[in-house]
Amino acid sequence: MNLWFRLLFMLLRRPWRNPAKALGSTVIRMRVWPLDLDFNRHVTNGRYFTLADVGRMDFVLRSGAYRVAIRTKALPIVGDTWGKFRRELRLFETFEVHTRMLGWDDKWSFMEHRFLSKGRVIGVVVMRGLFRSSKGIIPPGEFVRELGLLEKSPAMPQWLTSWSASCDAMSGQLREEESISDQPSS
């Protein structure tokens, strides 16, 4: 099933869904459709990231983060994603996507999307993203304060901070490579 149909279905159901706390989890239920499959007849690894987008949109709408984004004229931007796949999802299998905020630093907010089926974790997608307005990046501390949270992030696990540092290191390497390739050759 196409992402747009899933988003539309999620939006149509939204009026009947309860608001979510900013540090709570949201849960959406879905089913595996033929267009979700790869040649091995299970959900393709790239589809997990797309399905995580639907879970994240549900979280942003239900937590009230969208109101802060509208008020500050900011757009959400995904910076990096990472996935861990443990089991497969097959055609017509039902599953849930549990989405929650893990924490934030001075630039990034970190979210987790857990895919569950029959009570077991199928896979996990982690994302770091930010909100950007015409004035620049909105610091996550400022953003979460508007959601009624303290500006200080909950403690984040070591693997998450290490992953974020490796993303920063890769960005630095790419910037360095671009500056070298922009140099005129002698």
Residue 182, Cβ density class (10 Å: 0-12 exposed, 13-18 middle, ≥19 buried): exposed
Report which of 1, 10, 53, 54 is spatially closest to residue 31, judged by C-alpha positions: 1
Query: What one-character-per-residue DSSP string does 59-111 give?
Result: HHHHHTHHHHHHHHT-EEEEEEEEEEE-S--BTT-EEEEEEEEEEE-SS-EEE
What would the CATH number be for the domain defined by 3-154?
3.10.129.10
Which sequence spans correspond to the domains of the chain? 3-154
- The CA angle 103-105-128, to the nearest 5 degrees, is 65
**pLDDT tens per residue, range 50-104:** 999 999 989 998 888 888 899 989 999 999 999 999 999 999 999 999 999 999 9
Give the integer Cα–Cα distance in Å for 25 and 98.
6
Confidence at residue 15, expressed as pLDDT on a 0 to 100 scale: 59
What's the gap between Cα 118 and its chain centre?
Answer: 23
Token pair recorded at residue 147 = 């959601």
Q: Is the pLDDT of residue 21 over 80?
A: yes
This prediction has a pTM of 0.88
Q: How many residues does the chain have?
A: 186
Mean pLDDT computed over every residue of the chain: 90
Confidence at residue 150, expressed as pLDDT on a 0 to 100 scale: 85
Give the integer Cα–Cα distance in Å for 53 and 15.
19
Confidence at residue 10, expressed as pLDDT on a 0 to 100 scale: 66
